[in-house]
Amino acid sequence: MVITNPGAFAIIDSPHDKPSSCNCSRGSVFLKNRIPQNIYKDLEQRRTKEFKEYKARRTSVLSNLLYALPNSPLQYPIQGFIVQPLRATIIPGLELHAGKRDSYKVSLKVSIGVLSTVDLGEGAIVTGVGERELTIESSSLVTLNDLLASVSYRSTVYHINTGDLASFHFEDHKAVFPIAIKQSEIPVLWDMGTDINSQVSIAMKAFLRYSKVRVLVDSIRRFYPKMKIIIADDSPVNEKITGENIEHYLMPPAKGFFAGRNLAVSQVTTKYFLWVDDDFSFTKNTQIEKFVEVMEANPELDLVGGSVKGNRFYFTIVREEGDEAEGDCVYKRSGGKFHSVPGYPQCHLVSGVVNFFLARTESVRKVGFDPMLRRVAHSEFFLDGLGSLMVATCNDRSAMHINHQSKKGQSHSYLRFRHPGKKDRNLKLRRLFFKNHIKCFRL
């Protein structure tokens, strides 16, 4: 089907561009069924509005599917042409390859920018300089190509990440190519320093289990006596946790696991942080240096998980895009993995891992932890990070392993918060329905 982009040109739109409703597999939870009927209609309307705004912020004309027509005499860039907003930039690679003619005429059209070229004086007719449509005509193919080599594009709208589509015409031939408009980013670099203590901080969330926190801290200090430990604590009744390079942050009571993670990670000043639960304990096989080695050898990785008492609890997440009204179908496959990490056959790419991982601080801060999820929450962070975080799990019990303390001695107050009731579970599912635009979810 051909549709017209107003003020520009015709482009080809695939019938597969607009997804239909996805099919929920057996065992999926239909999230709308967990929402009271008296609030569902208003909630759905607000979700639809938010989703449209979300798409408006993240899509542009560059999302359109384009097809290159066969045997075209037109040469043009098909990928990698990026311009800064409002700045004129030469379009690379523009040329015409055509047989002998008395005259050659080409034109270019854009939508949210203007086109220009140099003035060669005699030998060519150029119209539309500084406008959205530029036409070049000459009896000399060499002259015409010289002018094409000097054609520049300048956007007329300031946007930090959008795009334009340029239409390139010669006789009955037409090509459409993308122009990415993107504000350049300032690099954020982290000084690795000279030793492991300047490379990694240890972060944890504490709640009521102070005896276990002290066991964990003592075990850390046996192997890493100088590494910074950051503790976010929302216990209703507080006890002090002191020591060299220990930062103990007190929160309002029962603010929640994810709120505590946000606080702890916000205070990290190293390139990486190691996340641990407050009832873990280090052993001789807890070697943070090995995690750093894997991450440094594979800079595209954002997070690497190890094993807790032999359990890696890794999983993959599959998202099937649905229509805008109903939302997507999401499946979590426990034990699922993709392929091994280059150079480390014991490590595999996955979507999520256990609560024992080394993470790139900057990457995790960009995703963040949803503070609305106060009690049991884990997979939701990796769901929010799907498409943003490259995650791996490593089966190396000699170096990337941590112990888990006994569950004995946990207070009734802790257990009451640790195991929420049906109301809390339904609130979490309602959150997935709205925030993540999910129709059905299978654990």
Return the HEC string of the chain: CEEECCCCCEEECCCCCCCCCCCCCCCCEEHHHHCCHHHHHHHHHHHHHHHHHHHHHHCCHHHCCCCCCCCCCEECCCCCCEECCCCCEECCCCEECCCCCCCEEEEEECCCEEEECCCCCCCCEEECCCECEEEEEECCHHHHHHHHCCCEEEECCCCCEEEEEEEEEECCEEEEEEEEEECCCCCCCCCCCCCHHHCEEEEEEECCCHHHHHHHHHHHHHHCCCCCEEEEECCCCCCCCCCCCEEEEECCCCCCHHHHHHHHHHCCCCCEEEECCCCEECCCCECHHHHHHHHHHCCCCCEEECEECCECCCEEEEEECCCCCCCEEEEEEECCCCCEECCEEEEEEECECCCCEEEEHHHHHHHCCCCCCCCCCCHHHHHHCCCCCCEEEECCCCCEEEEECCCCCCCHHHHHHHCCCHHHHHHHHHHHHHHCCEEEEEC
Residue 397 lies in a domain: yes
Same domain, 209 and 133: no
Say whether pLDDT at 189 is over 50: yes
Higher pLDDT, 410 or 234: 234
* 139 and 276 assigned to the same domain: no
What is the domain range of residue 226?
196-442
- The answer to whether residue 113 sits within a structural domain is yes
Q: Domain holding 380: CATH number?
A: 3.90.550.10
Res 19: pLDDT: 66
Residues 267 and 332 in one domain: yes
- Domain boundary among the residues 156, 182, 208 is at 182
Range of lowest pLDDT (8-12, 83-87, 152-156): 8-12
Is 65 inside any structural domain? no
Query: Given this model, what pLDDT does residue 1 score?
Result: 27
**Domain co-membership, 166 together with 211:** no
Q: Which of 178-192, 222-236, 245-259, 406-420 has the lowest mean pLDDT?
A: 406-420
Average pLDDT over residues 319-342: 95
**Domain presence at residue 21:** no
* Shared-domain flag, residues 137 and 215: no
Measured distance CA(264)–CA(256) in Å, rounded? 12
Same domain assignment for residues 166 and 204: no
Shared domain for 109 and 161, answered yes or no, is yes
DSSP 63: G
Q: Is the domain of 163 the same as that of 291? A: no
**Averaged confidence pLDDT in the chain:** 91
The whole-number pLDDT of residue 94 equals 97
Give the pLDDT confidence score for residue 7 in this predicted structure. 37
Summarised one tens digit per residue, pLDDT across range 267-313 is 999 999 999 999 999 999 999 999 999 999 999 999 999 999 999 99
Q: Is residue 31 part of a domain?
A: no
Per-residue pLDDT band at 65 (split at 50, 70, 90): confident
Task: Check residue 307 and give its pLDDT.
Answer: 98
Query: Is residue 237 domain-shared with residue 209, that is, in the same domain?
Result: yes
220, 339: one domain:
yes
Last residue of a domain, one of 137, 160, 182: 182
Lowest-confidence segment of 119-123, 188-192, 274-278 by average pLDDT = 119-123
Number of domains the chain is built from: 2
Domain end (from 182, 208, 238):
182
Q: How far apart are CA 82 and CA 62, in angstroms?
A: 12
Does residue 177 lie within any of the structural domains? yes
Q: At residue 255, does pLDDT exceed 60?
A: yes
Q: Is residue 25 part of a domain?
A: no
CATH number for the domain spanning 114: value is 2.60.40
- C-alpha torsion 141→147→148→153, nearest 10: -170
Indicate if 129 and 259 belong to the same structural domain: no
Give the tokens for residue 198.
Answer: 């300047």
8 in a domain, yes or no? no
Do residues 204 and 263 both lie within one domain?
A: yes
